[in-house]
Amino acid sequence: MTERTALYSPESLLALDGIDELERMKAVVNPFWNRARLDVTWSLPVMAGMTESSKISLQQMREATKEELLTFHDPSFVETLDLFGNTGSAFSARFGLDTDDCPVFPGVHRYARLPVGGVIDATIGVAKGKFKNAMSFVGGFHHAMESQAAGFCYLNDTVVAIKKYKEVNPGKKVLYLDTDVHHGDGTQKAFYADPDVLTISLHEKSMGFFPGTGKPEEMGIGEGKGYSVNVPLPPLTDDVEYWRAFEDAIVPIWQVYKPDLVFWNVGADAHFGDPLADLMLTFDTYHRLTMTVRQLVHEGERKLVAVGGGGYNPVTTAKVWTIVLAGLADMALPPVLPNKWLVLIEKYGLKMGRDGWTDRPSRMDEKHYPKVKRAVDDAINKVKELIFPVFGLE
């Protein structure tokens, strides 16, 4: 097995101009599908020289084929998306298309298909031992359903890639770990009755927060009962409370399940700097998450695929994903941020905040602590009550 980390480049997405047309068409910039986000996040490891390391195997995305997409998605949905991408028109409401989150713009089908093809190749490459592990910054479209787009997600790369893995490796067990701040509803639903795919989602849950799902009671059905694990967290959850939930509710289940492949949807939107969420994580938790995931993967079959997921402050998101990449590839982060990258973020009118790879230590206001701690306790205890017995845990 090679000791290199496969890194899937979004250069093919950046070469398209559909998102530029989207920005001209809309008064408000789409938080996910915009050039600044794609360019700034990818340029950080490139300008830092990390992509030239012998520890990295730089790979190009490819468009997923229709046959691959049909392992999960409805044919009419795929055809409608293709039609829009080719400047056609179709009845879109039933498919969740042409909304503020999932707008229609030139080449949208290519923007949707390219990450899926890359994540399939990453997953199969890791499974076959071609790579030590793999990461795609653009991936983790966990809200896309079989026949509906939602939450910036057109096609569900996580589901398609896991299904393709299972085709090649029948009977093998997959752990899908979702630390994106939003509940991974589409991926959970796809495997809700499948005990060979354990979905674990650690996410914010509050009144009106998208997508509104992800209670501990959503635990699977039939043979899959107990194999959907949800740890909902209240707004203002900080590093300490988050880590307590991860260690107490997730790690014991992981160690008993013993997956053959781990698929990690990272998400950078639980960071306190994200504009669309209300958790209070710092970069320290992403460092710790990466090291812990690596350790747990190393104790098992040593097969890990990571995708970027959400993150709507491009500067913060770039740092989070680069921190994760460095951890997976066993590389040191550069001591200072590249000057060329600082010029780039200034060009896009973005603000840096604190320089470097760390944040100032932060805890929630003391007056909020009792309520937050109680809510986190409730989430952990519910998981222990509902899920732990399935795995023989007490």
Mean pLDDT per block of 10 residues along the chain (394 residues) reads 90 97 92 97 98 97 98 96 74 85 94 98 97 98 98 98 97 98 98 98 97 98 98 96 98 98 98 96 97 96 97 98 98 95 97 85 82 97 98 94
Other C-beta atoms lying within 10 Å of the C-beta of residue 146: 13
Residues 146 and 190 sit within 8 Å (Cβ to Cβ): yes
Q: What angle do CA 88, 89, 90 make, to 5 degrees?
A: 135
As given in the structure block, the two tokens for residue 174 are 């997959």
> Strand 228-233 and strand 197-204: pairing?
parallel
- CATH code of residue 341: 3.40.800.20
Identify which of 138, 80, 147, 81 has the alpha carbon closest to the alpha carbon of residue 114. Answer: 138
151/270 Cα distance (integer angstroms) = 16
Task: Report residue 36: phi and psi, to 5°.
Answer: -55, -45
Amino acid 214: pLDDT = 98
Based on the residue annotation, tell me whether 73 is a catalytic residue of this protein: no
Which run of H or E residues covers position 46? Answer: helix 35-47
Question: Whole domain around residue 176: which residue ranges?
Answer: 5-391
Q: Give me the residues paired with residue 287 across strands.
A: none
Q: What is the pairing mode between strands 5-9 and 133-136?
A: parallel
Q: Are 248 and 382 in contact (CB under 8 A)?
A: no
Q: 73, 143, 182, 183: which is the annotated catalytic residue?
A: 143
* SS3 (DSSP) at 380: helix
Rounded CA gap, 108 and 111, in Å?
5
Strands 261-265 and 304-307: parallel
Q: Name the DSSP letter for residue 249.
A: I
For residue 95, the 8-state DSSP code is: G
> How far is it, in rounded angstroms, from Cα 76 to Cα 59?
31
pLDDT at res. 90: 62
pTM of the model: 0.97
Pairing of strands 261-265, 228-233: unpaired
For residue 166, give both structure tokens: 């299972």
**Residue with token string 């701690």:** 373
Strand partners, 6: 57, 134
**C-alpha R_g of the chain:** 20
8 A C-beta contact, residue 250 and residue 388: no
pLDDT, residue 355, reads: 82
Q: What is the rounded CA–CA span in Å between residue 214 and residue 200? A: 10
pLDDT at 2: 75
- Report the number of distinct structural domains present in the chain: 1
